[in-house]
Amino acid sequence: MNCGRAVMWLTGRRWLSVLVQECLNLRRLSFAGTCGGHKGRMAETPSIEAEAASELRAPTQQNGDTGGHATDERTPGRPEPAGAGVEPAPGDGKPATGSGEQAPAAAPGPGKRKKRRGATGERIVPPPKKRRAGVSFGDEHFAETSYYFEGGLRKVRPYYFDFQTYCKGRWVGHSLLHVFSTEFRAQPLAYYEAAVRAGRLHLNEEPVQDLSIVLKDNDFLRNTVHRHEPPVTAEPVRLLAENEDMVVVDKPSSIPVHPCGRFRHNTVIFILGKEHQLKELHPLHRLDRLTSGVLMFAKTAAVSERIHEQVRDRQLEKEYVCRVEGEFPTEEVTCKEPILVVSYKVGVCRVDTRGKPCETVFQRLSYNGHSSVVRCRPLTGRTHQIRVHLQFLGHPILNDPIYNSVAWGPSRGRGGHIPKTDEQLLRDLVAEHQAKQSLDVLDLCEGDLSPGLSDTTAPSSELGKDCLEELTASAQKMDGAVEAAPQDLDKMALAPGNATETDAVNKEMDPLCAECRLVRQDPLPQDLVMFLHALRYKGPGFEYFSPMPAWAQDDWQED
């Protein structure tokens, strides 16, 4: 009996030993998994912070390109997906090398989402792709199309372009039909239905089959369009100076600095890249599209930050020259009226006590009996500051299409007297330029006009649904031209000598493009010039001048 008890006791000890060992193994596995999860989170954090910092440092593109860009010309900023081959971050829950067991999946780190298997038939959204750090334009963008010159104007050949965006928070849970009808009114819904049938709309790189599809978080939308740009002056962008830090140019009037709205290739950034091989430049200050003169770019982010710090510390001196209505006072005039933005969309400001503080110093240089040439020194940098202050003083710029307009009333805004509401003012400005076919002056196109801005009939660029039905059938027959147009464009742009006349016609005419069927009257080159010129920029260790324009000469006479 004692022998039997001893055997049972020894057997119990062996089982106890085995049980303790198994518990220890389980604890080791659990501890390893926990440490792996923390390590994954720690490893991911610096890269995410670095990516966020790089996006904050990146210059804004409007656009469109962001290209447009967005800028925009997104404008000026639509995200472009990263290419394939992105390395997985640590802590993905992949099995360790050489181990036959699946390690426990690490907890999701910052910015990561748990992968979820959808129910049967549910649409699965792929995770968002990493964005490229910074925003710049390279040869692949410059090769999208080419320029031609006609009647004193620089023109861009129509081209195919992909507008790309991730689903915005306010779109989640809504159908594509709803989003297009509420936020993308540049075309009627019939156009988007035709675009679906022609295979031009993609969701997560898959062709959209039905506009009733409901959007989810992280959905990636791509819309291929046939893009037309307004003409600008044929005046060249002249280099004033270039060194290892900066590029300084003499910007002609009518050319935007960077992609924005309908402008992409007809911008200073693209002209410098295509014609002067100057790429990845950082604009150091802003000039309105209609303003000419000194425009500075940094070649590196470090130089850009240094100059912007000087701007913030008021170390830069800016000097402009303009030609204004009437006889400006001979003595120096300082205007300190605050300026309020009436509409960011239309780009209109006015003097208002609720506005931001501003200060501009004016000095008359000459008077020819009808108009005066005035030197302007803005001590602050508000939008349209010089133009708004001159309007307030009763001497608007002679040919300013916004602040010397009859839409402001009989006194044209002198002394801040505007006998109408902001809504009435905007509506009258839009109506005036719509009648003149000059909405580009307001950085608008017909599709941007909401019912509040325009009480006129439907824009002439909108085609009827029946017409679009016929065009869709035509587009589907042009399978190669519709589906492969962007790729064919790239090849032809890189090797223009191989392009035939038929190829050029195919890419410049598109069966779904309403713009292709419009006959627009070209502006006269003199209509693209506003009499406001950036004459001089001076800072610590640099000073750049631009030649005085012809309209600022003492002997200049109006036509």
Q: Kindly report, residue by residue over 362-418, the tens digit of the pLDDT.
A: 999 999 999 999 999 999 999 999 999 999 999 999 999 999 999 999 999 999 999
Using the 8-state DSSP alphabet, how is residue 263 labeled?
B
Residue 117 has pLDDT above 90, yes or no: no
State the angle between helix axes of 176-183 and 189-197 in degrees (0 to 180), rounded to the nearest 10.
Answer: 140
Q: Percentage of the chain with pLDDT > 70?
A: 64
Phi-psi region of 235 (alpha: psi -120 to 50; beta: other; left: phi over 0): beta
DSSP, collapsed to helix, strand or coil, labels residue 202 as strand
Looking at residue 440, what is its pLDDT? 65
**Are residues 310 and 537 in contact, defined by beta-carbon separation less than 8 angstroms?**
no
HSE of 521, CA atoms in CB hemisphere, 13 A: 7
Looking at residue 558, what is its pLDDT? 79
Q: Which of 209, 220, 158, 66 is nearest to 485 (CA)?
A: 158
Tokens of 503: 């190829």
Higher pLDDT, 36 or 557: 557
Q: Which of 231, 285, 275, 274 is nearest to 254 (CA)?
A: 231
Cβ atoms within 10 Å, residue 278: 18
Higher pLDDT, 153 or 541: 153
Q: CA 442, CA 420: separation in Å to the nearest integer?
A: 19
Instruction: Spell out the alpha helix ranges (H) of 436-553.
Output: 465-477, 479-483, 485-494, 501-508
Q: In one letter, which amino acid is 218? A: N
Q: In one letter, which amino acid is 531? A: F
453 band by pLDDT with thresholds 50, 70 and 90: low
Residue 473 has pLDDT above 50, yes or no: no
Residue 459 has pLDDT above 50, yes or no: no
125 band by pLDDT with thresholds 50, 70 and 90: confident
486 band by pLDDT with thresholds 50, 70 and 90: very low
Mind listing the pLDDT tens digit for each residue in 167-183? 999 999 999 999 999 98
Q: C-alpha angle with apex 269: 264 to 274, nearest 5 degrees? A: 85
Mind listing the pLDDT tens digit for each residue in 291-320? 999 999 999 999 999 999 998 888 899 999
User: How would you classify the pairing of strands 246-251 and 348-351?
Assistant: unpaired
Looking at residue 357, what is its pLDDT? 96
98 band by pLDDT with thresholds 50, 70 and 90: very low
Mean pLDDT of 88-96: 37
Please give the sequence-ordered ranges of beta strands (E in DSSP) within 326-466, or none if there are none: 333-335, 339-343, 348-351, 360-367, 371-378
352-357 long-range contacts (CB < 8 A, ≥24 apart) are 352/416, 356/380, 356/382
Looking at residue 348, what is its pLDDT? 93
Looking at residue 270, what is its pLDDT? 97
User: Which range among 94-108, 234-248, 333-347, 491-505 shows the weakest confidence by mean pLDDT?
Assistant: 491-505
> Cβ contacts of residue 14 below 8 Å, gap of 6+?
none
Tally: H helices and E strands in the chain: 12, 19
Mean pLDDT of the chain: 75
DSSP, collapsed to helix, strand or coil, labels residue 237 as coil
Q: CA 113, CA 109: separation in Å to the nearest integer?
A: 8
Looking at residue 10, what is its pLDDT? 40
214 band by pLDDT with thresholds 50, 70 and 90: very high
HSE of 367, CA atoms in CB hemisphere, 13 A: 11
Mind listing the pLDDT tens digit for each residue in 33-86? 444 444 333 333 333 333 333 333 333 333 333 333 333 333 333 333 333 333
Looking at residue 47, what is its pLDDT? 36
User: Which range among 20-24, 133-137, 144-148, 507-511 shows the weakest confidence by mean pLDDT?
Assistant: 20-24
Mind listing the pLDDT tens digit for each residue in 318-359? 999 999 999 999 999 999 999 999 988 888 999 999 999 999
438 band by pLDDT with thresholds 50, 70 and 90: low
Is the bond preceding 71 in cis, omega lying within 30 degrees of 0? yes
Q: Of all helices (H) and strands (E), which one includes residue 400?
A: none
Looking at residue 448, what is its pLDDT? 52
Looking at residue 37, what is its pLDDT? 43
> Cβ contacts of residue 128 below 8 Å, gap of 6+?
166, 218, 220
Looking at residue 330, what is its pLDDT? 96
> Cβ contacts of residue 129 below 8 Å, gap of 6+?
81, 82, 86, 220
Looking at residue 121, what is its pLDDT? 65
Mean pLDDT of 524-542: 93
> Cβ contacts of residue 384 below 8 Å, gap of 6+?
288, 339, 347, 349, 402, 403
Alpha carbon 78 to its chain's center: 7
> Phi then psi for 40, rounded to 5 degrees?
-60, -45
Q: Which residues of 506-538 are buried (b: 16+ CB within 10 A; e: fewer)?
A: bbeebbbbbbeeeeeeebebeebbbbbbbbbbe
List residues with catalytic annotation. Answer: 288
Using the 8-state DSSP alphabet, how is residue 248 labeled?
E
Residue 107 has pLDDT above 60, yes or no: no
132 band by pLDDT with thresholds 50, 70 and 90: low
Q: Of all helices (H) and strands (E), which one includes residue 216?
A: none
Residue 557 has pLDDT above 90, yes or no: no
